[in-house]
C-alpha cells in the first residue's frame, strides 16, 4: 500500500527522536522521493548536509535496518557502472515502536536470557556474536559468553534472529528480463514480487539454510577468544572505539518478519476465541503452530494444507488439549469451516486437508475496527448504513440504504455525504434520461475497503504521532521531577511532591497504553 502523508510524518518523527533531525532529513528525502543515490540525496539536501555526512547517515540507517542498498543492472552493451541506490523501509521504521512487544514474545517463549540477547540486537541493529559477548561483559550483570552463544542459537532456531541480508543486491533490468514461463498451478503458489521494495528484499534475502543456520561456529579471530575474566579496562575501551566486524564474521539482526507472524497468529487465536469458542481457539492455535515452519511470507492469505492427524498431534501437546479426542478436534474443524451471513469461514477444507484463511480471520477484526470508528464519529445511524454497505459490497441507491438501515429518508443523504467527504464511502452519480427532455439523477454508494483502509491508516498515524509528541512534551516538562531517585521520593515527607509524581506517572502510563493499543490497530491494516 502507498505510504500516506501522516505515515511519512510519523516515520520521520520516530527517526528524529531516536537519531536526530539531520538523520531524519535524509530519511524524509527517501520516503518522499523514493530510492535515490547518495549523490542525489546530497544534491537535494543542498547545503544542509554534505556528501560525507549523507554517507555516514545512510550507513547508520542501514546498521539499524531502516534502509537497504541495491543497484540495477545497466542495459546490455552499456559500459556505465550500476549506481548504488538506497531504499527506505517504512515497516522497519514503524517496528522501532514495537520493540517492547517483540521482547515480550521472546521472554515468554524462550526466557529472559534470550530476551537480553535480543534487546542487544534491537538496540544496536546488527551485531556479531563477538560484539554481543563484549556488550554482555561491559554490562552490570553479565551472563557469560556460553549463555550468550546458546541464547543466540535458540533465537536463530526459532527464527527470531537472522543473518543480515546481502548489502547491495543487483536487480536484473526488468526491460531486458525474459518473461518466466510457469504453469497455472505454479502461478498460484509462487507469487511474483510486484513492487520495487519486494524485488529488492527478495534479492537481498539469503536462502533459508544461510539465513537460519542450524549450527554456526564463531570465527577464531573474533574477540570471543578473550577470556571473560582476563579483559582489562584498556581492551574494553579499545573495543568501544572500533566495533566493526571483520569480513569473515557472521553478522546477525532481529527478524521482524517472524515477530509480526507471531503477533498475527496471536490475534487470529483471539478472534477465533471471541467469535467461536475456547475449543476452536485451541485447534486454531495448533494449526498455526503446525503451519508456522512452512510459512514463507507473513502477508500470505492462506496457510499450507494440514491433515487432521498433524493437527491432532499438536493439539494433544498442549495442556488445554491434552484430553481432547480426535473426533472432538474434527468437530471443531467443522465449526471453523462453517460460514454465515455475519461470519466467514476461518478454515477451508480441501482434499481431506485444512487450510487457515488468514485474510478471512483478519478481515473480521478490520471490519470491527472500521465500524467502531464510524460509530464514534458519525453515530448509530451511520454505523448501520456502513455495516449494510460493507455486507452488500456493491453500489446501492440512497433510498434503499435508508430502508435497510431503518433511517429517515430525509436524513440519509446528509449522513452518507459526511462519510463520503471523509473518504469512508465511495459515491457515484447515476443519471437516467427519459423519452423527452427530462432526466432523473440518483446517488449510489459503496464501501471501498482499500480507500477506507488507507484513510484509517492515515488517521492512526496522525493519532500515534500526536500521542508521541504529547509523551515527549510530558517528559520534557517534568524532566527535573523524573530525575529524582525513588529513594529520595520514598524518604521525603512532602505529600504534594509525591502526589505530583504519582499524577505524572499515571499520565505517562495512560499515553503509553493508548499508543500501544493504537499500534495494535495499525498492524491489523498495515502488517497483517
Residue 173's pLDDT band (boundaries 50, 70, 90)?
confident
Q: How far apart, in whole angstroms, are the C-alpha atoms of residue 360 and residue 346?
A: 6
377-393 pLDDT, tens digit per residue, is 999 999 999 999 998 88
Residue 459's contacts (CB-CB under 8 Å, 6 or more residues apart) are 6, 373
Largest CA distance in the chain: 100
Residues in contact with 78: Cβ distance below 8 Å, sequence separation at least 6, in sequence order: none
Is 283 inside a domain boundary? yes
Domain finish residue from 421, 447, 473? 447
| Between 525 and 476, residue with greater pLDDT | 525
Q: Return the SS3 of 143.
A: coil
Q: Can you tell me the mean pLDDT for 27-51?
A: 90
pTM of the complete model? 0.84
Note every long-range contact of 40-48, with CB atoms under 8 Å and residues 24 or more positions apart, other chains counting. 41/86, 48/22
Q: Where are the alpha helices (DSSP H) in 244-379?
A: 256-275, 278-292, 308-315, 326-337, 358-378
Q: What is the mean pLDDT of residues 288-296?
A: 80
Angle 6-9-10 (CA atoms, 0-180°, nearest 5)? 85
439 or 253: which carries more pLDDT confidence?
A: 253
Domain of 468 in residue numbering reads as 453-526
Are residues 438 and 377 part of one domain?
yes
Domain CATH for 27: 1.10.10.10
pLDDT value of position 229: 40
Read off the pLDDT of each residue in 306-320 and give the average, rounded to a whole number: 92
Is the pLDDT assigned to residue 226 strictly greater than 60? Answer: no
Based on the fold, state whether residues 420 and 437 are members of the same structural domain.
yes
Q: Is 178 a member of any domain?
A: no
Strand ranges of the sheet holding 170-171, from the earlier edge strand across to the other edge: 85-88, 67-72, 170-171
Question: 206 with 246, same domain?
Answer: yes
Answer yes or no: is pLDDT of 367 > 80.
yes
pLDDT in the model for residue 481: 65
Give residue 193's pLDDT.
60
Cα 468 from Cα 10, distance rounded (Å)? 9
Q: Are residues 282 and 339 in the same domain?
A: yes
Helix (H, G, I), strand (E, B) or coil at 257: helix
Closest CA to 30 of 41, 39, 19: 41
Do the bridges between strand 170-171 and strand 67-72 make them parallel or antiparallel, or are there none, so unpaired?
A: parallel
pLDDT of res. 120: 95
Q: What is the DSSP string of 145-196?
A: HHHHHHHHHHHHHTTSEEE---SS-EEPPTTTPPPPP--HHHHHHSPPP-SH
| Whether residues 402 and 284 fall in one domain | no
With beta carbons less than 8 A apart as the criterion, state whether 87 and 65 touch: no
Give the C-alpha separation, 246 to 223, whole Å: 10
Q: Is residue 505 part of a domain?
A: yes
Q: What is the pLDDT of residue 235?
A: 39
Average model confidence (pLDDT) across the chain: 85
> Which pLDDT band holds residue 157 (cuts at 50, 70, 90)?
very high
Judge if 201 and 140 occupy the same domain: yes
Do 199 and 279 fall within a single domain? no
What pLDDT shows up at residue 214?
Answer: 78
Element (H, E) at 403: helix 398-405
The 3-class SS string of 283-297 reads: HHHHHHHHHHCCCCC
pLDDT at 1: 58
Residue bearing the bigger pLDDT, 249 or 188? 249
In a domain, 183, yes or no: no
pLDDT, mean of residues 95-113 = 95
- Please indicate, yes or no, if residue 188 is contained in any of the structural domains: no
Average pLDDT over residues 414-432: 89
Domain contains 318:
yes
Confidence at residue 221, expressed as pLDDT on a 0 to 100 scale? 43
Give dist(CA 488, CA 491) in Å, integer: 5
A 10 A CB-CB count for 151 gives 24
pLDDT for residue 372 is more than 90: yes
Percent of the chain with pLDDT over 70: 83
Average pLDDT score over residue span 503-528: 90
Residues 245 and 119 in one domain: yes
Query: At which of 356, 378, 408 does a domain end?
Result: 356
Per-residue pLDDT of 444-475, as tens digits, reads 999 988 889 999 999 999 999 999 999 888 87
Asked if pLDDT for residue 223 goes beyond 50, the answer is no
105 and 219 assigned to the same domain = yes
State whether 270 and 290 are in the same domain: yes
Contacts for 40-47 with beta carbons within 8 Å, 24 or more apart? 41/86
Cα dihedral value 171, 40, 125, 207, nearest 10 = 0
Residues 345 and 477 in one domain: no
Q: Do 283 and 397 belong together in one domain?
A: no
The last residue of a domain, from among 356, 377, 404: 356
Residue that has been written with the C-alpha cell 451471513 in this structure = 341
**226 to 153, 215, 223, 236, 242: CA distances (angstroms):** 20, 22, 6, 11, 16
Sheet holding 127-128, edge to edge: 127-128, 251-254, 161-163
Q: Cα–Cα distance between 208 and 375 in angstroms, integer?
A: 46
Amino acid at each position: 500500500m502507498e505510504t500516506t502523508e501522516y505515515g511519512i510524518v510519523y516515520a520521520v518523527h520516530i527517526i528524529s527522536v531516536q537519531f536526530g533531525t539531520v538523520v531524519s532529513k535524509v530519511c524524509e528525502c527517501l520516503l518522499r522521493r523514493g530510492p535515490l543515490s547518495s549523490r542525489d540525496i546530497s544534491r537535494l539536501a543542498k547545503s544542509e548536509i554534505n556528501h560525507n555526512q549523507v554517507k555516514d547517515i545512510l550507513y547508520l540507517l542501514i546498521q539499524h535496518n531502516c534502509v537497504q542498498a541495491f543497484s540495477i543492472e545497466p542495459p546490455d552493451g552499456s559500459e556505465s557502472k550500476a549506481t548504488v541506490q538506497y531504499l527506505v523501509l517504512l515497516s522497519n521504521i514503524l517496528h522501532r515502536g514495537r520493540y517492547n512487544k517483540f521482547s515480550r514474545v521472546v521472554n515468554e517463549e524462550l526466557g529472559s536470557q534470550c530476551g537480553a540477547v535480543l534487546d542487544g540486537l534491537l538496540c544496536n541493529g546488527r551485531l556479531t556474536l563477538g560484539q554481543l559477548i563484549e556488550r554482555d561483559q561491559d554490562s552490570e550483570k553479565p551472563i557469560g559468553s556460553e549463555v550468550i552463544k546458546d541464547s543466540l542459537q535458540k533465537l536463530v532456531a526459532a527464527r527470531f534472529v537472522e543473518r543480515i541480508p546481502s548489502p547491495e543486491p543487483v536487480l536484473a533490468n526488468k526491460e531486458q528480463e525474459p518473461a518466466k514461463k510457469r504453469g497455472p498451478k505454479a502461478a498460484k503458489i509462487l507469487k511474483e514480487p510486484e513492487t520495487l521494495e519486494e524485488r529488492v528484499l527478495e534479492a537481498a534475502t539469503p536462502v533459508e539454510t544461510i539465513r537460519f543456520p542450524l549450527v554456526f561456529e564463531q570465527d577464531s579471530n573474533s574477540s570471543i577468544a578473550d577470556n571473560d575474566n582476563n579483559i582489562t579496562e584498556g581492551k574494553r575501551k579499545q573495543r568501544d572505539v572500533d566495533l566493526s566486524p571483520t569480513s569473515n564474521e557472521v553478522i546477525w539482526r532481529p527478524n521482524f518478519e517472524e515477530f509480526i507472524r507471531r503477533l498475527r497468529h496471536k490475534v487470529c487465536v483471539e478472534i477465533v476465541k471471541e467469535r467461536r469458542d475456547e475449543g476452536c481457539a485451541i485447534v486454531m492455535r495448533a494449526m498455526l503452530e503446525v503451519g508456522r515452519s512452512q510459512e514463507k511470507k507473513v502477508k500470505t492469505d492462506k496457510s499450507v494444507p494440514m491433515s487432521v492427524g498433524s493437527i491432532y498431534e499438536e493439539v494433544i501437546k498442549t495442556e488445554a488439549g491434552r484430553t481432547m479426542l480426535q473426533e472432538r478436534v474434527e468437530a471443531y474443524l467443522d465449526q471453523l469451516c462453517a460460514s454465515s451471513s455475519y461470519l466467514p469461514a476461518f478454515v477451508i477444507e480441501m482434499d481431506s486437508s485444512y487450510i487457515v484463511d488468514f485474510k478471512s480471520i483478519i478481515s473480521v477484526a478490520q471490519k470491527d475496527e472500521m465500524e467502531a470508528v464510524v460509530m464514534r464519529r458519525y453515530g448509530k445511524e451511520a454505523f448501520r448504513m456502513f455495516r449494510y454497505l460493507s455486507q452488500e459490497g456493491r453500489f446501492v441507491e440512497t433510498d434503499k440504504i435508508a430502508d435497510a438501515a431503518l433511517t429517515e429518508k430525509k436524513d440519509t443523504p446528509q449522513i452518507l455525504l459526511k462519510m463520503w467527504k471523509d473518504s469512508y464511502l465511495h459515491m457515484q452519480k447515476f443519471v437516467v434520461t427519459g423519452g423527452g427532455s427530462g432526466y432523473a439523477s440518483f446517488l449510489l454508494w459503496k464501501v471501498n475497503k482499500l480507500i477506507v483502509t488507507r484513510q484509517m491508516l492515515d488517521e492512526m498515524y496522525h493519532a500515534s504521532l500526536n500521542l508521541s509528541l504529547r509523551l515527549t512534551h510530558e517528559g520534557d516538562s517534568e524532566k527535573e521531577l523524573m530525575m529524582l531517585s525513588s529513594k529520595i521520593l520514598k524518604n521525603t515527607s512532602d505529600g504534594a511532591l509525591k502526589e505530583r509524581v504519582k499524577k505524572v506517572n499515571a499520565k505517562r502510563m495512560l499515553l503509553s497504553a493508548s499508543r500501544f493499543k493504537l499500534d495494535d490497530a495499525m498492524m491489523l491494516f498495515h502488517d497483517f
